[in-house]
Structure 1
Amino acid sequence: MRTDLFRRQVVKGFACVSAGAFLPPCCLPAIAAGRDFVLKDIGDGIYAFSGLNELMTEANQGAICNLGVIVGKEAVAVIDSGGSLIEAEAFIAAIRKVTDRPIKYLISTHMHPDHIFGNAAFRDIGATIVGHHNLPRALEARGAFYLQSYRNQIGEDIMKGIEIVPPTVVVTDPMTLDLGGRSIELRAWKPAHTDNDLTVFDTATRTFFTGDLVFRGHLPTLDGSFLGWIDQMGTLSDVKAARAIPGHGPVPSDWPDALVPELRYFQALAMDLRDAIAKGTPLSEAVKTAGLSEKDNWSLFDDYHERNATTAYAELEWE
């Protein structure tokens, strides 16, 4: 898929993008494996972009996570900005094709680059950036590392203009935002995928934007608390949603069925690691075998599983 021809086609598709410029429909860049940036109409003012279940690369321009749009009578809220300014500008252009209402809020679901590297594009059009109360601290701690390390991963051209832009409004307690005749509910979660996970619930359609608290197809990645994530699965499943937009995977997804594969993976990993710890198996050996029964059920398993197992082992051995 990532042939030289494909790379040339993608680069050609982006040739009309300039920093800070909005693109006319005829010039909308080919993004995410050669597709135009297309917002899927979920219905009733809800739209979503489906990212690829891949690592961020030069070829996919960082477009690997799902992004969301909620249109109210007076304003628009956007959920996550994508993995590059190129993607964010294509996103804004796509939003302008479905509504001319002002983009009032950009809601960042957590700190990872595929979700926040496009924040500057939304800041520059006047959107208020909203995030978990831990998000500013997390971005301050990791921002410089993200900017440097991803230059090596996705290349200087894709990284041009990317800034680490923290939220100016933070969520500690449940918060409601009004888009004009449409209310959306924001919730800050305890450490799980990260320590700064935020979800968005559209009350009109009962659509649940979960961020990376929910993965489908793409192996869940652990950068917060393994036990915290498991402990909150019940609370997640209790959200009275009709459908979910996961951070990665099919959009929309049935709810709460979308949680089932993720919980199965966590349970398999926990069971195997607890058994290894009880037997005195050292971490270096346990992480190579724990949870392998799940290998065929997930993309990117080899990229993330041992890291997940290492983090989980460190928590479980202190139970």
Structure 2
Amino acid sequence: MQTFQNMTLAATLAAITLIAPAAFAASDTAEPVDQSIYEGRETLPDPSEGNCDVEKSLVEFKDNLYRHTNGSFPATHSGLVLITDEGALVVDAGNTCVAKWLQEEIKTRFDADIKYVVQTHAHWDHLAGTQVWQDAGATVIAQRNAIEPIIGEKLPVATPDRVFDNEAEIELGGETILLHHEPAGNHSNSMVQVVFPKQSAMQCTDVCQSKTFPYMDFLDFYYPGWIKTLDWVIEQDVDLIDVGHYNDPATTEDIVALRDYMTDLHAQVLELSRQGMNWDQLWRNVTAGNEYRDEWFGYEYMRRANIEGMFRWVDNHRRGVW
């Protein structure tokens, strides 16, 4: 009887040993990309390859969720890093030389390899260096629309291994990470928000701001989708939001203020345009954002450019009796 019990216990322990890793096996709901199509693709020189003499950090955000940065304010680039027993998930890189440092830092401090990389959108300043982690064996995930500009603009970054359309999930180390894309676009048509439910945190790069005016003339800009995205972020009501730049995380209250500023800016530019004002008159009569002159970074540098970008959007989307 004792022998049978010992055999049963041994079998049970063996079964647990076999089952346990499978229960926490890394997985995702994205679709594979045929990398053979892009093998040997042409890329432009990488300006960040030798840009090693920059400030860099890896600081805990909350509960094994860290924030990596490179560059100094206001030119800081950042992304979140989740450390698990199964490996690390990293959002964006932003610098090829710093990506090599970050890979070593994660290995040294946590004895973890980078398992997943999420590319937030197909802009080189955030994706530079993701190829380092892909070459080391990480799986790179992006929204499907990212592939075309990565290839077409010859960006020296990782070509995604897996892509998704609007929603996807990653399972890593017993944690679920949520990926969200707004189909109407926002800052690019390939943007991904990354939600870490356990930590009540989110990566909302470039679309969200932390007491800062949006960058210049909004650049790769889709106004209706941007507002839809901000509404979605507000609905999630997470505690901490990394915006991909600057020093401090944003809060839901910051995103409400940003949305209200952008909708006010749009409404004013549209109304002044309908009054027949030319550009030289119009920008001088916009008051949106004045209330944040002393509270937000970038009033002197960004606000006039914000007006210009919104004017361009409005002008391209009006159609009156002409």
Q: Please give the alpha-carbon distance, in whole angstroms, between the structure 1 residues aligned to 2:85 and 2:192.
A: 24
Task: Answer yes or no: is the 8 Å Cα contact 2:192–2:204 preserved in 1.
Answer: yes
Letter in 2 for 1:188: H
Q: Please state if 1:81 is matched with 2:93.
A: yes
Sequence identity, in percent? 20
Match for residue 177 of structure 1 among 170, 179, 204: 170
Q: Is the alpha carbon distance of 1:41 and 1:86 closer, same or farther for their aligned partners in structure 2, counting shifts above 3 Å?
A: same
Q: Find the residue that maps to 1:213 and give its secondary structure.
A: coil
Letter in 2 for 1:127: A
Q: Please state if 1:281 is matched with 2:277.
A: yes
Q: Please give the alpha-carbon distance, in whole angstroms, between the structure 2 residues aligned to 1:123 and 1:288.
A: 48
Q: Please give the alpha-carbon distance, in whole angstroms, between the structure 2 residues aligned to 1:303 and 1:127.
A: 38
**CA positional deviation for 1:288:** 5.4
**CA positional deviation for 1:224:** 2.0
User: What does 1:300-319 align with in structure 2 at a 5 Å threshold?
Assistant: 300-317=298-315, 318=317
Match for residue 195 of structure 2 among 174, 188, 201: 201
What root-mean-square deviation, in Å, do the aligned CA atoms of Structure 1 and Structure 2 show?
A: 2.7
- Which moved further from structure 2: 199-208 or 294-303? 294-303
Q: Is the alpha carbon distance of 1:251 and 1:304 closer, same or farther for their aligned partners in structure 2, counting shifts above 3 Å?
A: closer
Q: Mark the structure with the bigger radius of gyration.
A: 2
Q: Find the residue that maps to 1:110 and give its secondary structure.
A: coil
Task: Answer yes or no: is the 8 Å Cα contact 1:79–1:106 preserved in 2.
Answer: yes
Q: Is the alpha carbon distance of 1:175 and 1:277 closer, same or farther for their aligned partners in structure 2, counting shifts above 3 Å?
A: same
User: What does 1:243-262 align with in structure 2 at a 5 Å threshold?
Assistant: 243-254=240-251, 256-262=252-258
Letter in 1 for 2:202: F
Q: Report what 1:164 is aligned to.
A: 157
**CA positional deviation for 1:41:** 1.1
Letter in 2 for 1:46: L
Q: Please state if 1:117 is matched with 2:128.
A: yes
Match for residue 204 of structure 2 among 196, 199, 210: 210
Structure 2: segments with no counterpart, 5+ residues: 1-48
Structure 1: segments with no counterpart, 5+ residues: 1-18, 21-28, 56-63, 145-162
**CA positional deviation for 1:106:** 1.0
Q: Find the residue that maps to 2:85 and give its secondary structure.
A: coil
Q: Find the residue that maps to 1:232 and give its secondary structure.
A: helix
Task: Answer yes or no: is the 8 Å Cα contact 2:90–2:116 preserved in 1.
Answer: yes
Q: Please give the alpha-carbon distance, in whole angstroms, between the structure 1 residues aligned to 2:73 and 2:211.
A: 7
**CA positional deviation for 1:70:** 0.5
Q: Is the alpha carbon distance of 1:298 and 1:271 closer, same or farther for their aligned partners in structure 2, counting shifts above 3 Å?
A: same
Q: Find the residue that maps to 2:77 and give its secondary structure.
A: coil
Count of residues in Structure 1 that have an aligned counterpart in Structure 2: 262
Task: Answer yes or no: is the 8 Å Cα contact 1:187–1:198 preserved in 2.
Answer: yes
Q: Please state if 1:186 is matched with 2:168.
A: no
Task: Answer yes or no: is the 8 Å Cα contact 2:106–2:112 preserved in 1.
Answer: no
**CA positional deviation for 1:143:** 3.9
**CA positional deviation for 1:46:** 0.4
Q: Report what 1:233 is aligned to.
A: 230
Q: Please give the alpha-carbon distance, in whole angstroms, between the structure 2 residues aligned to 1:245 and 1:111.
A: 18
**CA positional deviation for 1:71:** 1.4
